[in-house]
Amino acid sequence: MASITSRAIAAEAIRLADHTRHQTALRLLPFLFVLYVTNYLDRTSLAYAAIGMKRDLGFSDSVTGLGLGVFFISYVALQIPGAILVERWSARGMISTTMIVWGTMTALTALVHTPAQLYGARLVLGAAEAGFFPGVIVYLSHWFMQADRAKATSNFMSAIPLSFVIGSPLAGFILGQSWFSLPGWRWLFILEGIPAIVLGTIAYFYLTDLPTEAKWLTAQQRDWLESSLAEERQTSTQAMPVLQALSSRTILVVAAAYVFNNFTYYSLLFWLPSMMKRLTGFSDVRVGALGALPYVGLFLAMLANGWHSDRQLERRWHTAVPVLLSAAGFLGLVIQPRSVSVLLLLFTVATIGNSYLPVLWAMPTEYLSKSAAAAAVGMINAIGSIPGFAGPYLFGYLSTKSGSFGTGLTVLMVTALAGGLVVLYAPKKKV
Higher pLDDT among residues 419 and 371, named by residue: 419
Q: Is the pLDDT of residue 430 over 70?
A: no
**pLDDT bracket for residue 331 (50, 70, 90):** very high
Name the residue among 348, 352, 349, 357 with its Cα closest to residue 319: 357
Q: What is the CATH number of domain 20-425?
A: 1.20.1250.20
pLDDT of residue 411: 93
Decide if pLDDT at 422 tops 60. yes
Q: Which residue has the higher pLDDT, 51 or 100?
A: 100
User: What average pLDDT does this structure show over 149-173?
Assistant: 77
| pLDDT for position 49 | 87
Q: Between 357-367 and 293-312, two packed helices, what is the crossing angle to 10 degrees? A: 30
Q: What is the mean pLDDT of residues 311-326?
A: 88
pLDDT band at 76 (very low <50, low <70, confident <90, very high): confident
Amino acid letter for position 157: M
Beta-carbon contacts of residue 76 (< 8 Å; ≥ 6 apart): 126, 130, 382, 383, 385, 386, 388, 389
Give the separation between CA 182 and CA 179, rounded to whole angstroms: 5
The rounded distance, in Å, linking the Cα atoms of 340 and 279 is 9
Q: Name the helix (H) or strand (E) containing 218.
A: none
For 181, which DSSP code?
T
Q: Tally Cβ neighbours within 10 Å of residue 427.
A: 13
Answer yes or no: is pLDDT of 19 > 80.
yes
Q: Is the pLDDT higher at 89 or at 203?
A: 203
Helix (H) or strand (E) holding 183: strand 182-183
pLDDT at position 243, please? 58
150 — pLDDT class (breaks 50, 70, 90): low
CA distance 220 to 222: 5
Look at residues 281, 280, 264 and name the one whose alpha carbon lies nearest to residue 331.
264
**Percent helix, strand, coil in the chain (nearest 5)?**
85, 0, 15
pLDDT attached to residue 365: 63
Considering the chain, what percentage of its residues have pLDDT values greater than 90?
A: 22
- What pTM was estimated for this model as a whole? 0.71
What percent of the chain clears pLDDT 70, i.e. is strictly above it?
89
Q: How does residue 153 score in pLDDT terms, banded at 50, 70 and 90?
A: confident
Per-residue pLDDT tens over the stretch 181-205: 889 899 999 998 999 999 999 999 9
pLDDT single digits (tens) 342-397: 999 999 999 998 888 888 877 776 665 555 666 677 677 777 777 877 888 888 88
- For the chain, give the mean pLDDT: 83
pLDDT by residue (tens digit) across 52-68?
Answer: 888 889 888 888 888 88
pLDDT for res 110 = 93
Cβ neighbours of residue 213 closer than 8 Å, sequence gap 6 or more: none
Q: How many CB atoms lie within 10 A of CB 354?
A: 26
Per-residue pLDDT, averaged over 203-214, amounts to 89
pLDDT at 117: 94
Question: What pLDDT score does 244 carry?
Answer: 58
- Model pLDDT, residue 431: 38
Burial of 227 from C-beta contacts in 10 A (0-12 / 13-18 / 19+): exposed
Mean pLDDT across 223-249: 67
How much is the average pLDDT of 217-235?
A: 83
Q: Distance between CA 199 and CA 189 in Å, rounded? A: 16
Q: How much is the pLDDT for 232?
A: 73
Residue 116: pLDDT over 50: yes
Q: What is the pLDDT of residue 429?
A: 53
Q: What is the 3-class SS of 88-139, one letter each residue? A: HCCHHHHHHHHHHHHHHHHHHHHHCCCHHHHHHHHHHHHHHHCCHHHHHHHH
Please give the average per-residue pLDDT across 165-177, as a whole number.
82
> Is 323's pLDDT higher than 90?
yes
- What's the pLDDT at 313? 77
CB atoms within 10 A of CB 65: 28
Which residue has better confidence, 3 or 134?
134
Cα–Cα distance, 133 to 378 (Å, whole number): 9
Each residue of 245-301: pLDDT tens digit? 556 677 788 888 889 998 998 888 888 888 888 888 888 788 888 888 898 898 889
